[in-house]
Amino acid sequence: MARSKTTKQSTVLESYNPATGEPLGSVPVTSPDEVAESLALARRAQRRWASLSPGERGARLKEFSKILLREADDVCARISAENGKTRQEALITEVLPTVDLINYYGKRADKFLKPKKIPLHLFKHRGSYIHYVPRGVVGIIAPWNFPFAIPIGETICALIAGNAVVLKPSEMTPLIAAYARSAMIRSGLPADLFQIIQGGPEVGKALVEAEPDMICFTGSVNGGRKVAEACGARLIPCVTELGGKAPAIICPDADMERTVSALAWGGFANSGQVCASVERVYAPASIHDDLVNRLVKKVRELRQGDPSSFDTDVGAICLPQQMDVVQELIDDAVANGAVVECGGNADSRSLGYFFEPTVLSNVNQNMRVAREEIFGPVIPIIKVDDVETALEYANDSHLGLTAYVFTRDRRKGRALAEKVEAGTVMVNDVMSTYGMPETPWHGIKNSGIGFVHSEDGLRGMCQMRHVHYERIPGIRRELWWYPYSRKTYQGIMKLMRVAFSKRSL
Averaged pLDDT score across all residues of the chain: 95
DSSP-based three-state secondary structure for 340: strand
Spatial CA neighbour of 200 closest among 250, 154, 141: 141
What are the helix (H) ranges across 317-448? 320-335, 368-371, 387-395, 410-417
Q: For domain 246-437, which architecture applies?
A: 3-Layer(aba) Sandwich (3.40)
Q: Tens digit of pLDDT for each residue in 415-474?
A: 999 999 999 999 999 999 999 999 999 999 999 999 999 999 999 999 999 999 999 998
pLDDT of residue 504: 53
Q: Tens digit of pLDDT for each residue in 188-220?
A: 999 999 999 999 999 999 999 999 999 999 999
Q: What is the mean pLDDT of residues 148-153?
A: 98
Per-domain residue ranges of the chain? 2-242+453-464, 246-437
Q: Is the dihedral of CA 267, 273, 277, 278 positive or negative?
A: positive
**Could you give phi then psi for residue 170, rounded to 5 degrees?**
-60, 145
pLDDT over 70 at 4, yes or no: no
pLDDT over 80 at 3, yes or no: no
Q: Tens digit of pLDDT for each residue in 359-416?
A: 999 999 999 999 999 999 999 999 999 999 999 999 999 999 999 999 999 999 999 9
DSSP string, 452-485: ESHHHHHHTTEEEEEEEEESSTT--S-TTSSSP-
Q: Is 2 left (phi over 0), alpha (psi -120 to 50) or beta?
A: beta
pLDDT over 90 at 2, yes or no: no
Residues contacting residue 504 through CB under 8 Å, at least 6 positions apart: 498
pLDDT over 60 at 256, yes or no: yes
pLDDT over 60 at 6, yes or no: no
pLDDT over 90 at 505, yes or no: no
> Predicted confidence band at 1 (pLDDT cuts at 50, 70, 90)?
confident
pLDDT of residue 348: 65
Q: Tens digit of pLDDT for each residue in 24-68?
A: 999 999 999 999 999 999 999 999 999 999 999 999 999 999 999
> Predicted confidence band at 8 (pLDDT cuts at 50, 70, 90)?
very low
Q: What is the mean pLDDT of residues 85-106?
A: 98
Interatomic CA distance for residues 79 and 174, integer angstroms: 11
Spatial CA neighbour of 159 closest among 134, 182, 179: 134
DSSP-based three-state secondary structure for 163: coil
Residues contacting residue 106 through CB under 8 Å, at least 6 positions apart: 55, 58, 59, 61, 62, 65, 160
Interatomic CA distance for residues 468 and 300, integer angstroms: 64
Asked if residue 164 lies in contact with residue 46, where contact means CB atoms within 8 angstroms, the answer is yes
Which residues are tagged catalytic?
241, 275
pTM metric for this prediction: 0.95
- Domain 2-242+453-464 falls under CATH 3.40.605.10: yes
User: In DSSP terms, which residues pair with 25 in a beta bridge?
Assistant: 15
β-strand 278-284 against 214-218: which pairing, if any?
unpaired
Q: Tens digit of pLDDT for each residue in 336-355?
A: 999 999 999 998 667 799 99
pLDDT of residue 7: 52
Residues 59/434/376/180 CA torsion (nearest 10 deg): 0
**Could you give phi then psi for residue 166, rounded to 5 degrees?**
-120, 115
Q: Tens digit of pLDDT for each residue in 128-139?
A: 999 999 999 999
Q: Do the domains spanning 2-242+453-464 and 246-437 agree at the CATH topology level?
A: no
